[in-house]
Amino acid sequence: MQDLFSRLDAEKPSREEMAAGAWLLNRYALEDANNLLQEIEGISDAAPFRHMVTPGGFSMSVAMTNCGTFGWVADRRGYRYEKNDPVSGKMWPVMPDRFMTLAVSAAKQAGFPDFVPNACLINRYEPGAKMSLHQDKDEKDFTNPIVSVSLGLPATFQFGGLDRKDAVRKYLLNHGDVVVWGGPSRLFYHGILPLKEGVHESAGRARFNLTFRRAVL
């Protein structure tokens, strides 16, 4: 009986403070997940996933696109937010209501009642793709949190501190997990280890990650 209860407990939605201001909302987006994946398909029909090139001249292993008023872009000139997709010259697709509602309600759960994102970066990882340790510093106001939503294959997330050489902890981010990164953790170094081979029943051979940001005031 005890085993049964601890197993049921483990499946319940739960929240964990990973660091000051960083709240992991386990499976928070699970019920929404298939609809979110459908929205990603629609967005990527209008603004296809692409491998952006860093200022150093390397093509990123993660494929990216955006929705919302602003989209994050990388090219030989640097990293920044743009109103238009540089591939098409058109505005980024509108942020779906379902995305906005999820991001706002997750931020509220974590103590950020005023968060209204105006950018959503969509990352697509296929097996082998990774994101090296970095800080997110291209936004205007670091008092706004970032909300991330993981979909599809699980990934190992590395979470360090304010200094690149700070020790990192590892967390597995699963389908439906939402994390709100605010307070001191907003500027902590983080990354994703190379995605392991696998096939997810809803997302196929991929992991998608949505990051909701207040890019510009």
Q: Which residues bind ligand MD3 (CB under 6 A)?
A: 121, 123, 131, 136, 146, 148, 179, 181, 185-186, 188, 190, 192, 209, 211
Q: Which is nearer to ligand MD3, 186 or 214 (CB)?
A: 186
CA distance 88 to 64: 14
Q: Which is nearer to Fe ion, 54 or 88 (CB)?
A: 54
Min CB(59)–ligand MD3 separation in Å: 16
- The residue at minimum Cβ distance from ligand MD3 is 209
CA distance 169 to 161: 10
Beta bridge partners of 72: 81
Q: Which is nearer to ligand MD3, 2 or 211 (CB)?
A: 211
Start-end of H helices in 84-194: 97-109
The secondary structure of residue 60, as a DSSP letter, is P
- Number of helices (H), then strands (E), belonging to the chain: the values are 3, 13
Write out the residues near Fe ion by the rule CB under 5 A: 136
Residue 188 interacting entry, from ligand MD3, Fe ion, none, C-beta within 5 to 8 Å by type: ligand MD3
CA distance 61 to 51: 7
Q: Which is nearer to ligand MD3, 2 or 181 (CB)?
A: 181
